[in-house]
A = this chain, B = another copy of it.
Amino acid sequence: MATNKLKIIPLGGLGEVGKNMTAIEYGRNVVIIDAGGMFPEQDMYGIDLVIPDYTHYLEDKKDWVRGIIVTHGHEDHIGALPYLLKTVQAPIFATQLTIGLIDVKLRKNDMEGATVLNVIKPNQPFSIGGVFEIEAFHVCHSIPDAVGFAIRTPVGMIVHSGDFKFDYTPAWGEPPDFAKLAQLGKEGVLALLSDSTNANNPGFTPSEQTVTKGLDQVFSEAPGRIIVATFGSLISRVQQVIEVAVKHKRVVVVNGRSLQESVERAQELGYLQIPRGVLISLNEMKKYKDREITIIATGSQGEASAALGRMALGQHRQINIKKGDTVVLSSRIIPGNEIVVNRAINRLFQRGAKVVSGRGTNVHVSGHASQEELKLLLHLIKPKFFVPVHGELQHLHAHAQLAIGQGVPEENTVILENGMVLELTQKKMKVTERIPGGYLFVDGKNIGDVGRVVLRDREMLSQNGFILAVVHVSRENGQALSRPEIISRGFIYIRESGDLISRAEEVVMKALPAKKPYDAVRKALQDFVDKETGRQPMVLPVIIED
């Protein structure tokens, strides 16, 4: 009988940030850790969400999945669940707030009750598939109830850090559980999978306490309303803002749907403590003076449709930005969003607001461990094998170098890419195969029906638009029967280019008759337009034979 093998298969989050997902396989048993989604990058034209491509791995293994364990409730760890659950009907295991946020997400996708949601607690082991003994351990991150996982398998223990930092004074809950981590290390850990997001940052990530102080400073100086923009999922940040507001005798309005939903659910579950009378509605705002008001709003990424974006554009129905307002951006700028965020900041200045953001202001800190914390985790866990996860390739490399510097032998460290299969025994590890991986595009209501070809067309259209030439040709001799009709969109102001158009019509007429009229017209028109304008729009002939 063949021995069962222990395998780690990263399905997302390695090299591509934010689509975190890992499978652990032993025999015919699979446990999946996280299933995240990410907003598309700027050249993924029209795409709504990007998720890990788990389809190849799960193709003939979907019945092996015994459970899905989730580290915390951020989008980049739970965003793909509604899609994954259409393929795999495995139960989900997570802490209370995480389960609450997953439930909100499933309801939004009309998938309430799609699977069993199990609330777990740190340090209370549970079993999945009879071969995995799993125990969550408390970690600090920018959302309450975040955990890492210790997964005991017949080959050895795998520890997954989840997203974490070592924060001695977190905004919510307990400091790190060093005793537990040290105990796992003593028990013996085969492999550590650890968060590489900030592996390039020297030192220690500042405590969330820094943000409380930074906010306190801003609140002390603000003459009028204070508007704090942050992510809906940064529940701990919301708690901090509320505490500082209470200290400064201000009421709080929560504005923006995603934020309201998270706040409501977190409050229901006891993860937000708001003194009675502090939370008011938008309509009640008029009862208060400006210096008594705090608004927590969505739109920290400059999105024109979110609450802050509408304020910046002067399109918010209830809130007009004016002199005396202070706007605080209390979140990081996701790479690629710098330009829109800067535009929003400039518009807010234009309307008279003061904007507080960026370095030196202490109104945001990262939720991820820096180098000294990563070293500390390595020394607590003392793993035999080390696998950096969560981060671009440059961060995985930096993290691996860090581990080697701390004494992990180079041959016990591996940099995986999504879809690589890492096989582990008690003595060795090696990459045995590579499953086609990458990511899936979610666009409109469907997954996967927009691929590279469609995106290439969208890119081409975005650069130069298109030209349409509708031509009647004679079925008998292939001559044009009438002047062609030229239509364009996204090309140039066609009304001011009458001459160009009439010459283009001539070009089309001259290209006929031809053996392949479609190709002939297209080629002739492409050449003409390129020569005249230096542009390469998509050219699409419509040939009608009569």
**Interface positions of A (Cβ within 8 A of B):** 15, 41-43, 45-46, 200, 202, 335-336, 338-339, 342, 345-346, 349-350, 355, 358, 360, 392-394, 397, 443-446, 449-451, 453-455, 457-466, 468, 470, 472, 485, 487, 489-493, 496-497, 533-535, 538, 540, 542, 544, 546
Contact = CB atoms under 8 A, between A and B. Distances in A.
20 contacts: A41-B339, A42-B42, A45-B462, A45-B490, A336-B336, A444-B534, A444-B535, A445-B533, A449-B493, A454-B465, A454-B492, A458-B461, A459-B462, A460-B490, A461-B490, A468-B542, A470-B470, A487-B540, A489-B540, A546-B546
B457 A490 contact: yes
A446 B533 contact: yes
A202 B358 CA distance: 12
A493 B339 contact: no
Given A335-B342, A461-B461, A542-B468, A355 B443 contact: no
B463 A458 contact: yes
A462 B487 CA distance: 18
Contact of A542 (B392, B463, B542): B542
Contact of A497 (B393, B449, B487, B497): B449
A540 B488 CA distance: 10
Contacts of A450: 492-493
A454 B349 contact: no
A46 B454 CA distance: 18
Contact of A461 (B338, B346, B349, B462): B462
A244 to B, nearest CB: 24
A414 to B, nearest CB: 14
A46 B394 contact: no
Contact of A458 (B349, B449, B462): B462
A376 B355 CA distance: 25
Contacts of A542: 468, 470, 485, 487, 542
Nearest to A42: B42
How many copies of the chain does the oligomer comprise?
2
7 nearest CB pairs, A to B: A444-B534, A462-B462, A461-B461, A46-B463, A457-B490, A458-B490, A445-B534
A475 to B, nearest CB: 14
Contacts of A446: 492, 533-534
Given A45-B462, A345-B393, A461-B466, 17 more contacts: A45-B463, A45-B490, A46-B463, A202-B360, A336-B339, A342-B392, A342-B394, A345-B392, A346-B392, A349-B397, A350-B393, A446-B492, A449-B492, A450-B493, A451-B493, A458-B490, A461-B490
Contacts of A533: 444-446
Contacts of A461: 458, 461-462, 465-466, 489-490
Nearest to A47: B463
A392 B339 CA distance: 11
Contacts of A457: 465, 489-490
Given A346-B393, A470-B470, A542-B468, A46 B462 contact: yes
A307 B443 CA distance: 34
A85 B443 CA distance: 47
A202 B359 CA distance: 10
A454 B544 CA distance: 28
Nearest to A544: B544
Contacts of A470: 470, 542, 544
A15 B345 CA distance: 11
B444 A346 contact: no
Contacts of A534: 444-446
Contacts of A464: 46, 458
A392 B355 CA distance: 13
A465 to B, nearest CB: 6
Nearest to A489: B457
A358 B492 contact: no
Nearest to A472: B544
A172 B485 CA distance: 60
B468 A468 contact: yes
A535 B394 CA distance: 36
A454 B490 contact: yes
Nearest to A449: B492
Contacts of A492: 443, 446, 449-450, 454
A491 B462 CA distance: 13
Nearest to A396: B349
B489 A349 contact: no
Nearest to A397: B349
Given A470-B542, A492-B450, A339 B335 contact: yes
A179 B462 CA distance: 53
A457 B451 CA distance: 22
B489 A393 contact: no
Contacts of A466: 461, 466, 489
A110 B440 CA distance: 47
Contacts of A462: 45-46, 458-459, 461-462
Contacts of A360: 200, 202
